[in-house]
Amino acid sequence: MKKLMLALATTVAVGFSVIAAEAWGTDYAAAQTQAKKDGKVILIDFTGSDWCGWCIKMKKESLDLKEFTDYAAKNVVLFEADFPNKKPQTPEVKKQNEALKKKYDVGGFPTFVLVDADGKELGRQVGYLKGGPSAFVSKIETWKKAPAK
């Protein structure tokens, strides 16, 4: 019985992390189309997902938690611009992510950039943000309400 419960708990945990991972798109043009269709903004996560310790910590302590994923599902289109060391990427995704890194002048990871559907920057968080999902959601809401830059 204990083995069955452990297996079930593991399956549920893996399932939630797969769902959370699927929420982050990797096609920027598709993210813009979705944002325009839904009247949402785009949150770009510039990350080194398989090597950046602060990126991994931010994901674990904020981005993968229910409070953030529930908020994001209703309010933003999630886009991941990943710069992994070992995880495979298509040449198109690499080229797209490099172009976005240059466009938004990203110098380190993690960097989060909130943009409107046309790509205009609304706000930016450089580095890990303490306070979990509530702190990050609060920051995003502040950016959304601020006058355009």
pTM of the model: 0.85
What is the pLDDT at residue 13?
Answer: 43
Q: Which residues in the chain come in under a pLDDT of 50? A: 4-21
Residue-range domains of the chain with CATH: 24-145 (3.40.30.10)
What is the pLDDT at residue 16?
Answer: 40
Four-CA torsion 143, 83, 32, 100, nearest 10 degrees: 80
Q: What is the pLDDT of residues 57-75, one digit of tens each?
A: 999 999 999 999 999 999 9
What is the pLDDT at residue 1?
Answer: 55
Give dist(CA 62, CA 131) in Å, integer: 8
Give dist(CA 77, CA 38) in Å, integer: 9
Q: What is the pLDDT of residues 72-92, one digit of tens each?
A: 999 999 999 999 999 999 999
Give dist(CA 79, CA 140) in Å, integer: 14
Q: Rounded to the nearest 5°, which phi and psi values hold at 20?
A: -60, -40
